[in-house]
Amino acid sequence: MESTGVVPSPRVAVVVFLLKGNKVLLGRRLTPVGRHTFALPGGHLEFGESFEECAAREVKEETGLDISKIEYLTVTNNVYSKNPSNPLHIVAVFMRAIQAEPTQVAQNLEPEKCESWDWYDWKNLPRPLFGPLQAMADNGFNPFPADHEND
């Protein structure tokens, strides 16, 4: 592989656990990274944007939903090196939120990136999950608040 002299840089993504009861909103990805896996709504942080602003913007752009009670949960470091000519390093900031208006219905506003959006019980998630989300679920991560009864 010839070196172009350009060193790849990590990108920051903000990803949202949008919660409703014991369910989370997931969409089936159609993008090259993670194609056909189920993932949370989210996207890349824009310059000067707070994590909360990015979370609200991305969920609105992808699903049409307005969110509230946006909180930081955790961060993961994800390096994808399967394609050495196009390595990818994403720092994913995971947030938690609820719908601002519970009667709103998720729409698929980016059909070129996502097949559809639906609500899935946290204890019965669809497969395959997007890599970082699968790792979190495998490690027992719980996106619900401590006072939430997740039976």
Residue 150: inside a domain: no
106 token code pair: 């998720």
Instruction: State how many domains the chain has.
Output: 1
Q: What is the mean pLDDT of residues 90-109?
A: 97
Give the H/E segment covering residue 55: helix 51-63
Residue 146: inside a domain: no
**C-alpha span between 114 and 27 (Å, rounded):** 6
CATH number, position 43: 3.90.79.10
Question: What confidence tens digit (pLDDT) does each residue in 47-72 have?
Answer: 999 999 999 999 999 999 999 999 99
pLDDT exceeds cutoff 70 at 5: no
pTM: 0.91
Q: Domain containing 59: what range?
A: 11-137
Report the pLDDT value the prediction gives residue 4, as an integer from 0 to 100. 58
Residue 148: inside a domain: no
Report the pLDDT value the prediction gives residue 87, as an integer from 0 to 100. 84
Question: What confidence tens digit (pLDDT) does each residue in 128-146 have?
Answer: 999 999 999 999 999 999 8
Residue 64: inside a domain: yes
Confidence tier at 8 by pLDDT (50, 70, 90): confident
Which residue(s) pair with 93 in the sheet? Answer: 14, 75
Confidence tier at 85 by pLDDT (50, 70, 90): confident
DSSP string for residues in 86-139: S-EEEEEEEEEEEESSTT-----S-TTTEEEEEEEETTS--SSBPHHHHHHHHT
